[in-house]
Structure 1
Amino acid sequence: MADTSDAGAVLGNQADAVLDRDGLDALVRVLKRRGRTVIGPTARDGAIVLDELESADELPYGWGVELEAGQYRVRRREDGAAFAHSAGPQSWKSFLHPDRVRQWTTDRRPGGEIAVHEEKQQSVSYAFLGVRPCDLRAIQILDRVMSGGRYQDPAYLSRRAGAFLIAVECTEPGATCFCVSMGTGPAVDAGYDLALTELVDDAGHRFFCRSGSEAGAAVLAELPHRGADDPTRTAATEAVSAAAERMGRSMPPVDLRTLMRDNLEAERWDDVTARCLSCGNCTMVCPTCFCTTTEDVTDLTGDHAERWRRWDSCYDLDFSLLHGGPVRATPRSRYRQWLTHKLSTWHDQFDSSGCVGCGRCIVWCPTGIDLTEEAHALHQEATQTESAP
């Protein structure tokens, strides 16, 4: 057990360590003892989902996933790994930017007076265990969107403030992953409190752990661990490097921002329109899509009403509704809006891409539309147009 008297010294002198399963169990216990709500992956209802964990035993040990466009299936693994699965149907957005948030309530009192009560946001001390590199980048993007500008979202801030992030580097990417193309993984280099690299080999089942903040170092100091050795560091580095070579998808090696901007009238948009259902699944599972709308509800007496904010999608026909009709009335225009915003005009708003390469939109599209395939097709069409006499 490391000395807990000087967390700063731990951060400065022992930035990495090795945990076994007992150390991972202790990590959850320490975080809960510190008053944090621990959220992590667990196997339930035929998927790897994110939920509150009471102990590390609830992690999906021995479960992996098989992914393809429009397909998701969990499968048993023989090695007992806890984090050898790709992004599931949820992202951390579900906890930081929930799908429904009540904004205020109003009541009509017996004398006819109307009383309005603003909803007070309850602060939650979260600890997120198992944040993939792509999702770590997604949280950073949401930070910029929800709190980095002139208008800040108090509901987001109350959940994000002080959240403890435990990243897990990716050593086994899925068939729909393309984080390398987006520069978001499979390694992590910043933005975490603790980072884990899971290793299962002849040397045993262990987790190479690095602290990235004083808060992370303080937690690490309370865990049973041993100092990291060079073979473990090398194995961790090689496992992550190997994952980078096994990405299931890739984007074309061009400036995606320019590709989208200069091909708004490409014929390929008609091709994808024939397949897109405008269901909005891709926006719901995307870890960075943030659009919302508001709706008012009332009870049967009419004396009590509430305003709720809920997720919305740019695929909804009414999303761009103005006087006279919707601005984007066709599936073609709505898909084009989503893809060009995600890969291009997001830069104009928030100084980064809105895509992190997690592949969720590919997996959870009921017709298997693949944005990497669409980007390659747009690039190919643009190249053929440029070379035509």
Structure 2
Amino acid sequence: MTKVDGAMATITVDGLEALLQAIQARGYRAVGPTMQNQAIVYDDIESIDDLPRGWTDEQDGGCYRLLRRSDDALFGYSVGPQSWKKYLHAPKLRLWTAERHGDDISLASEAQPEDRLAFIGVRACEIRAIEIQDRTLISDLYADPHYKALRERALIVAVNCGKAGGTCFCVSMQAGPRVKRDFDIALTELLDDGEHLFLVETGSDEGRALIAQIPHRAASNRAIEAAEAVIERTASSMGREMRSDDLNQLLMSNLEHPRWDEVATRCLTCANCTLVCPTCFCTSVEDVSDLSGERAERWRRWDSCFTMDFSYIHGGSVRASAKSRYRQWMTHKLATWIDQFGSSGCVGCGRCITWCPVGIDITEEVRAIRGHDASAEEPR
């Protein structure tokens, strides 16, 4: 376990409640895991009573359900259908409004958001996903002003995973389960010997100031060792695995592999995988106007490379087949993303597997292509 500032602390469940209250007292809007519609989703929270105490999730390809735990863990699940992208890179955003006033037209850009968001319970794979979104949306020549405004003011309270989901493979993508950087506060939930504690690490001045406000005590060696054991146990129990060191070469050398045809017979091109993915960033814009023609608006909304219109140009869609659209998504996520941004676009959260209606498994597709790699065959 990496020590921050040479020290660690522990807090109780009451201490976590005090931390939430301190966060809100500093003007943050706290967002965290809640139970809604038989799933764990992110929403506004006021206290620890809003957290999914005593619940966990069971996940597999095309399968998700909640189950009762035998303890009162507050973060005893893996990840649900939503990611923090929902808050930083909104599914739908008005960009500007135009109004006609006689012969004059006024144009007003959408004001930048002023929310100070505090994300509670962010996993290591999700922090990696936010890093990737940062690289895409604010670290290049052109920055998304709405994303930037929210991201710069966001507070991250991370949680080291105590449970690997059935579709998780973050270890394969070097994205978890341990939180290593880019957090303000990191927690590890401990439920041994009848105690319910959280080991606390701080990663910023804001995080240190918050912990200084609440009851805490120096962490014992026993607590640090227990937290280390939690993370090691999670890392050794991943539901999936995928070799990732050669994906760019593997996939780009097999663009005509027969597996693309096979997966196309199962893929519904429903776009679920891109909507639940924490790093997909594709959008489209649409203009709307009222019936009088006096007011018009331009909106940006999430889009997907699985939709027919996404690659439409004059004359038709460039990627008209399910085969070409699935291949575009998977090769971009795992291969050409590396060319563009210097890393894979996948963090191993497993959402695309869990929330695919037909249970298509990206790790299995890679395994099938690797099993008959055309580029590795000797030329005749």
Tell me the TM-score range normalised by the shorter chain. over 0.9
CA contact (8 A) 1:283 1:289 kept: yes
Q: 2:2 aligned with 1:12, yes or no? A: no
Alignment partner, residue 305 of structure 2: 314
Alpha-carbon displacement from aligned partner over 1:138-168 (angstroms, at most 9, x marks no partner): 0011010000000100010111112111110
Aligned in 2, Cα 1:250/1:160: closer, same or farther, shift over 3 Å? same
CA–CA distance in 2 between the matches of 1:212 and 1:285?
A: 28
TM-score by length of 1: 0.94
User: Is the contact between residue 287 and residue 297 of structure 2 (CA under 8 Å) also seen in structure 1?
Assistant: yes
> What is the CA–CA distance in structure 2 between the aligned matches of 1:358 and 1:370, rounded to whole Å?
12
Question: Which amino acid is the alignment partner of residue 134 of structure 2?
Answer: D
State yes or no: 1:324 paired with 2:331. Answer: no
In the other structure, the counterpart of 1:208 is 199
C-alpha distance in structure 1 between counterparts of 2:200 and 2:116, whole Å: 22
1:98 aligns with 2:94: no
Q: 1:24 aligns with which of 10, 16, 23?
A: 16
332, 347, 365: which one aligns with 2:356? 365
Aligned match of 1:157:
148
Deviation, 1:12, is 3.5
The residue that corresponds to 1:178 in the other structure is: 169
Sort the Cα spacing of 1:60 and 1:388 in 2 relative to 1 into closer, same or farther, 3 A.
farther
2:117 is aligned with 1:139: no
- For the residues of structure 1 that align with 2:64 and 2:80, how far apart are their CA atoms? 9
For 1:87, the equivalent position in structure 2 comes to: 79
For residues 185-224 of structure 1, the aligned pairs below 5 Å read: 185-224=176-215
Q: Would the aligned equivalents of 1:21 and 1:206 in 2 still touch at CA under 8 Å?
A: yes
SS of match in other structure, 1:221: helix
The Cα shift of 1:253 comes to 5.9
How many matched pairs?
A: 378
Confirm or deny: 8 A CA contact 2:253 2:374 kept in the other structure.
Answer: no
Tell me the SS of whatever aligns to 2:153: coil
Alignment of 1:102-113 (within 5 A): 102-109=94-101, 111-113=102-104
| Match of residue 112 from structure 2 | 121
The equivalent position to 1:56 in structure 2, one of 48, 53, 58, is: 48
Distance of aligned partners of 1:315 and 1:246 in 2 relative to their CA distance in 1, 3 Å threshold: same
Contact map agreement 1:11 1:214 (CA 8 A) in 2: no
Which deviates more from structure 2 when the two are superposed, residues 376-385 or residues 279-288? 376-385
CA distance in 1, matches of 2:222, 2:78: 26
Distance 2:313 2:253 in 1: 27
Q: Distance in 1 between matches of 2:21 and 2:349?
A: 29
- Tell me the equivalent position of 1:7: none
Alpha-carbon distance, 1:124 to partner: 1.2
**Local SS of the residue matching 1:182:** coil
Alpha-carbon deviations, 1:191-232, whole Å to 9, x = none? 111000111111511111100111111111111111100000
How far does the alpha carbon of each residue in 1:100-155 deviate from its partner, in whole angstroms, 9 at most, with x for none?
A: 1100001111x232111111112211110100100010001101000000010001
Q: Is the 8 A contact 2:173 2:244 kept in 1?
A: no
Cα distance per residue 1:256-301 (max 9 Å; x no partner): 1111111111011011000001110000000000000000111222
Check whether the contact 1:297–1:307 (CA below 8 A) recurs between aligned residues. Answer: yes
* CA positional deviation for 1:87: 1.0
- Report the equivalent of 1:3: none
Aligned residue among 159, 171, 174 for 1:168: 159
Q: Where in structure 1 are there 5+ consecutive unaligned residues? A: 1-9
> Are 1:303 and 2:294 counterparts?
yes
Q: Select which of 27, 42, 66 maps to 1:35.
A: 27
Identity of aligned residues (%): 51
Out of 197, 212, 220, the position equivalent to 1:229 is: 220
Pairwise CA distance, 1:252: 3.0
Q: What is the alpha-carbon root mean square deviation over aligned residues?
A: 1.6
1:55, CA displacement in angstroms? 1.0
Partner Cα distance (1:256, 1:11) in 2: 34
Structure 2 segments unaligned to the other structure (5+ residues): none
Q: Secondary structure at the match of 2:191?
A: strand
CA distance, structure 2, for counterparts of residue 198 and residue 180 of structure 1:
20
Q: Which residue of 1 aligns with 2:337?
A: 346
* Match of residue 68 from structure 1: 60
TM-score in terms of structure 2 length: 0.97
Q: Could you give the per-residue CA deviations for residues 220-248 of structure 1, whole angstroms, max 9, x where no partner exists?
A: 11111111000000000011011111000
